[in-house]
C-alpha cells in the first residue's frame, strides 16, 4: 500500500491531541502528514496553555511536515479571499496551502471548505 500525503486541519489535530481520535491518520507507515503554519499558530496560541502542554504540542508536531507560508501560498490566499469573501482568514490560508501543495485536506469542518473549486476535502471520521 502506497503512503498517502495529506494536509491535516487544526480541528483534527486538536481531537488527536486531546483524545487520540483519528490515530490511524497519524500512522507514518500509511500517511505523510503535513500541517499549515496556521495550524501551528492555532494550536500554540490557545489561552491558558501550560508550558508542559506547549512542549507536548511541539514534540507531536515535530513528527510531521510543516508547510510555511510562501509567496505562491499568499497569492492563492488572496485569490481565495477575493473569490470567497465569507471564508474565514485561517481557513483560506489552510485551503491555499492545500491547493498550492496539491494535497487533499483532512478536516471535520468539510462545510467550511467544500465551496472551494479544485480543493479535495476529505471528511475526518
- Residue 117, classified by CB atoms within 10 Å of its CB into exposed (0-12), middle (13-18) or buried (19+), is exposed
Cβ atoms < 10 Å from Cβ of 50 = 9
CATH fold of 4-123: Rossmann fold (3.40.50)
Average pLDDT over residues 64-80: 98
Sheet containing 31-36: give its strands across. 65-67, 31-36, 4-8, 105-107, 121-123
Domain boundaries in the chain? 4-123
Residue 1 has pLDDT above 70, yes or no: no
- Residue 104, classified by CB atoms within 10 Å of its CB into exposed (0-12), middle (13-18) or buried (19+), is middle
Q: Encode pLDDT of 28-59 as tens digits.
A: 999 999 999 999 999 999 899 999 999 999 99
Q: What is the pLDDT of residue 124?
A: 84
Q: What is the pLDDT of residue 97?
A: 98
Q: Encode pLDDT of 76-99 as tens digits.
A: 999 999 999 999 999 999 999 999
Amino acid at each position: 500500500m502506497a503512503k498517502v500525503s495529506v494536509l491535516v486541519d487544526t480541528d483534527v489535530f486538536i481531537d488527536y491531541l486531546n483524545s487520540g481520535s483519528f490515530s490511524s491518520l497519524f500512522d507514518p507507515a500509511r500517511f505523510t502528514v503535513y500541517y499549515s503554519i496556521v495550524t501551528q499558530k492555532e494550536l500554540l496560541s490557545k489561552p491558558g496553555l501550560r508550558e508542559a502542554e506547549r512542549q507536548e504540542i511541539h514534540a507531536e508536531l515535530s513528527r510531521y511536515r510543516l508547510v510555511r507560508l510562501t509567496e505562491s501560498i499568499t497569492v492563492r490566499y488572496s485569490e481565495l479571499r477575493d473569490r470567497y469573501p465569507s471564508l474565514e482568514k485561517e481557513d483560506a490560508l489552510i485551503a491555499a496551502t492545500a491547493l498550492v501543495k496539491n494535497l487533499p485536506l483532512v478536516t471535520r469542518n468539510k462545510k467550511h471548505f467544500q465551496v472551494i473549486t479544485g480543493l479535495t476535502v476529505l471528511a475526518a471520521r
